[in-house]
């Protein structure tokens, strides 16, 4: 063996990367420390990549002639991949983040699958256990790749509707059984020594083909709106696949990174499912929001529109306002205008707080990021459990681009698809203003009784445009007073 780099240096580098991943992840648990957490985890990834290069110098003499070529290829791949990631990360809009996460996640699964393919076609597996682990990693990585690409296409509107056929689940089950059967057969035949792996490339192609098809088939029937949870599941899959391939390559940095990503993805999936009061099974196998008993006639009251300026002036003379931001605020990119309006209210002595629901928007933490982007101080932002009791003592709840997260049906209507989901108690405020463009439903596709309440007025329009009018109206008051 040609060993230029002492093993303990490689080990220490891997350990440093692992520490940075975990410390970074811990910092990501609060919006205050999250930006630095992302930086720390990024440095961890850089250290892990450097560690992989150190492995290149710890190789057998037979591989030495390829060393320079392989290093050159790896550097070219890093420059291209890093460049594309830098460019796309800079230009992506906040509302397109889920798509970007889907693509990057798919790439991770694909990379794990590619490592497995190199191992399988190169017949490198050292024993049955390693072969089985390689195949499991290949299966999960390939499912994650094709499934994430379908998730991207749905989120981006390339695929507009869930594609469901009769007997879909049975057919998907059949494809899964064939995939597992081919994988099992490869392990069995290799174990019995009857056939070395190299003469079985056709079976390996079939295995990958079935696994990729399974990812596509599993994701096609799921509704576009459930894609954030699906991406989170695929994120867990990717982590698992990377961890398994790390085991195959005996690369601790890959193993640890894979386990951290896998565990984080699974926890996130469970948290999202819990915040929506749904099970992961229900998300994967049910047509959410399609069937609902609700008809507009079931709800008493009427929609009462008011002008944006009048609502703005009313809030200017209130003593307390709680703002509930939702998906529509991100669509309108109205966060800067919102904070400008808040500063005007504060200058007039109004107490203003933000109430953030754990699944407001389309990505966990999307509202926190949006408000942070506008420079809203963290001490104005409250999570559901910390603010829900305050609504009853608040003059105005300003619901801006939010819908499902303030739908009282979640408390009372057992037939509602969101029954049991914890909601923000906006309806308990003395006065409620709801800013939205029209009669559009929320993600769950149901009518919201809050909008018809006696204490509620609708302010129709794009959130950014409405806020501009509110700001103008409040400013005009100041000008009149001065004149």
Active site residue 310: no
Please say which residue, 108 or 228, places its beta carbon nearer to ligand NAP. 228
Please say which residue, 311 or 363, places its beta carbon nearer to ligand NAP. 363
Please say which residue, 129 or 439, places its beta carbon nearer to ligand NAP. 439
Please say which residue, 97 or 138, places its beta carbon nearer to ligand NAP. 97
Catalog residues that contact ligand NAP under the rule CB under 6 A. Answer: 225, 228-229, 272, 276, 326-328, 331-332, 359-364, 366, 401-405, 435-444, 462-463
Q: How far is CA 483 from the centre of its chain?
A: 51
Please say which residue, 57 or 104, places its beta carbon nearer to ligand NAP. 104
277 Cβ neighbours under 8 A, 6+ residues apart: 410, 418, 419, 420, 421, 422
Burial category of 84 from C-beta neighbours within 10 Å (exposed 0-12, middle 13-18, buried 19 and up)? exposed
Please say which residue, 237 or 327, places its beta carbon nearer to ligand NAP. 327
| CA proximity to 112, closest of 247, 10, 218, 21 | 247
Q: Residue for token digits 């991406």? A: 231
| CA proximity to 310, closest of 407, 393, 431, 403 | 431
Rounded-to-10 torsion of CA 218, 221, 224, 230: -30
Please say which residue, 209 or 365, places its beta carbon nearer to ligand NAP. 365
What is the phi/psi pair of residue 477, to 5°?
Answer: -60, -45
- Two structure tokens written together for 421: 């989901």
Least distance between ligand NAP and beta carbon 225 (Å): 6
Interatomic CA distance for residues 24 and 327, integer angstroms = 27
Sequence-distant contacts of 262-265: CB under 8 A, at least 24 apart: 262/236, 262/237, 262/238, 263/236, 263/239, 264/25, 264/235, 264/236, 264/239, 265/232, 265/233, 265/234, 265/235, 265/236, 265/237, 265/238, 265/239
Choosing from 14, 226, 404, 413, the catalytic residue is: 404
Please say which residue, 178 or 225, places its beta carbon nearer to ligand NAP. 225
Interatomic CA distance for residues 348 and 110, integer angstroms = 55
Least distance between ligand NAP and beta carbon 26 (Å): 21
Least distance between ligand NAP and beta carbon 405 (Å): 4
The answer to whether the beta carbons of residues 294 and 419 sit under 8 Å apart is no
282 Cβ neighbours under 8 A, 6+ residues apart: 273, 288
| CA proximity to 433, closest of 321, 292, 280, 288 | 321
> From start to end of 85-188, where are the E strands?
none
The answer to whether the beta carbons of residues 41 and 21 sit under 8 Å apart is yes
- Two structure tokens written together for 110: 């694909």
- Return the active site residues: 404
């Amino acid at each position: 063996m040609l060993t230029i780099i002492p093993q303990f240096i490689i080990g220490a580098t891997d350990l440093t990367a692992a520490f940075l991943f975990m410390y970074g992840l811990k910092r990501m648990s609060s919006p205050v420390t999250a930006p630095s957490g992302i930086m720390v985890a990024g440095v961890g990834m850089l250290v892990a990549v450097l560690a992989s290069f150190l492995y290149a110098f710890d190789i057998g003499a037979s591989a030495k002639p390829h060393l320079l070529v392989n290093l050159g290829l790896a550097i070219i791949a890093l420059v291209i991949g890093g460049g594309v990631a830098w460019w796309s990360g800079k230009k992506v809009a906040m509302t397109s983040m889920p798509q970007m996460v889907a693509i990057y996640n798919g790439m991770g699964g694909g990379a794990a699958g590619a490592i497995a393919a190199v191992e399988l076609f190169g017949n490198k597996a050292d024993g049955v256990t390693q072969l089985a682990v390689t195949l499991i990693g290949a299966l999960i990585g390939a499912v994650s790749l094709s499934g994430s690409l379908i998730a991207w296409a749905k989120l981006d509107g390339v695929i507009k509707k869930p594609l469901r056929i009769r007997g879909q689940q049975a057919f998907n089950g059949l494809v899964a059984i064939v995939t597992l059967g081919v994988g099992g057969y490869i392990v069995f035949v290799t174990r019995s020594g009857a056939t070395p792996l190299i003469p079985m490339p056709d079976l390996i192609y079939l295995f990958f083909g079935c696994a990729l098809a399974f990812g596509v088939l599993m994701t096609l029937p799921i509704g576009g709106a459930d894609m954030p949870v699906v991406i989170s599941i695929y994120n867990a899959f990717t982590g698992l696949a990377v961890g398994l391939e790390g085991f195959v390559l005996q690369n601790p940095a890959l193993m640890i990174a894979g386990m951290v990503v896998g565990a984080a993805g699974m926890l996130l999936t469970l948290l999202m499912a819990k915040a929506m009061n749904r099970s992961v099974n229900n998300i994967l196998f049910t047509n959410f929001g399609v069937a609902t008993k609700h008809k507009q006639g079931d709800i008493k009251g009427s929609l009462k529109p008011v002008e944006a300026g009048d609502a703005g002036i009313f809030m200017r003379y209130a003593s307390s306002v709680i703002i509930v931001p939702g998906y529509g605020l991100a669509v309108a990119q109205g966060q800067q205008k919102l904070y400008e309006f808040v500063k005007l209210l504060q200058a007039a002595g109004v107490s203003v707080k933000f109430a953030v629901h754990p699944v407001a928007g389309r990505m966990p933490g999307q509202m926190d990021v949006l408000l942070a982007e506008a420079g809203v101080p963290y001490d104005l932002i409250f999570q559901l459990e910390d603010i829900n009791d305050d609504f009853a003592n608040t003059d105005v709840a300003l619901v801006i681009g939010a819908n499902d997260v303030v739908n009282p049906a979640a408390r009372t209507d057992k037939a509602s698809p969101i029954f049991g989901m914890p909601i923000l108690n906006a309806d308990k405020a003395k006065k409620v203003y709801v800013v939205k463009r029209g009669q559009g439903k929320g993600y769950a596709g149901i009518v919201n009784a809050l909008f018809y309440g006696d204490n509620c007025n609708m302010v129709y329009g794009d959130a950014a445009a409405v806020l501009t009018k509110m700001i103008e109206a409040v400013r005009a008051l100041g000008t009149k007073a001065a004149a």
